[in-house]
Amino acid sequence: MESQITIECQKIRLEGRLNRNSSQKAVIVCHPHPLYGGDMDNPVVMTIARAFFEKGFTALRFNFRGTGKSTGAFDNGTGEQEDIRSAMDYMADQGFLDITLAGYSFGARMNAVLVSQGCRIEDHIMVSPPAAFMSFDDIGKMPHTGLIVTGRNDDIAPPELLARHIKRWGIHPRFDILDHCDHFYSGCLQQLETRLTDYLSVKEREGRPENGA
């Protein structure tokens, strides 16, 4: 069951929900643009968190500064990067060293900045990074990016534009394009959850020693 938590970020207090699991694996899920109604209770964010929890991860979702009950004000992406760093510090203090960053739309853009700067993570998942709405030209290499998902009909994260960025970044993630799906995953949440759990299942099998060794 999720518990309410507070993450301290300098003078900012961030509202969060933590769903503990039995392993030491954890995911931090970042939400879409707060100025357009995005928060940690967004259905896509909750779907991502649920998929990871089902695969054994402890899942943290939180509200960026100025969103929900988080204090402070929207900082045009600068302070929000510090919010993510503080969430990572919180999870590390809780004993989670195997941390995955996952983000949807604006949240994916914020995570991408940190990953391109070399922050230490186990895996990086982007759901509909909004490349047609926010520039990704400043994003360099993004190591540890394992999965990028978007919709065939997503005009905010168009597959063709993302494919060009992936080539420019020089990375080789799994790139899933969901048919009949737009940026908001209307009617496609189950399809998204299935893709996420399948990716995590494959990653788990690939990381498992042969013959139980």
Q: Do residues 32 and 177 make contact, with C-beta atoms less than 8 angstroms apart?
A: no
pLDDT greater than 80 at residue 46: yes
Q: Do residues 128 and 63 make contact, with C-beta atoms less than 8 angstroms apart?
A: no
**Rounded distance, CA 60 to CA 6, Å?**
11
Domain boundaries, the chain: 3-205
pLDDT, residue 213, reads 38
Residues 6+ positions from 83 with CB-CB distance below 8 Å? 7, 9, 12, 14, 62, 64, 65, 70
Q: Does domain 3-205 have CATH number 3.40.50.1820?
A: yes
CA 60 to chain centre: 10
Mean pLDDT of 23-48: 97
Task: Tell me the CB-side half-sphere exposure of residue 191, using CA atoms within 13 A.
Answer: 17
CA 36 to chain centre: 18
Mean pLDDT of 145-168: 97
Mean pLDDT of 188-213: 86
* Helix 43-54 with 189-207: angle, nearest 10 deg: 30
Residues 54-75 have pLDDT tens digits of 999 999 999 999 999 999 999 9
Q: Which structure tokens are listed for 204?
A: 């788990």
pLDDT, residue 49, reads 98
Residues of the chain above pLDDT 70, percent: 97
pLDDT greater than 80 at residue 208: no
pLDDT greater than 50 at residue 212: no
pLDDT greater than 60 at residue 25: yes
pLDDT interval class at 97 (50, 70, 90):
confident
pLDDT interval class at 1 (50, 70, 90):
confident
Q: Which of 53-62, 139-148, 151-160, 170-179 has the lowest mean pLDDT?
A: 139-148
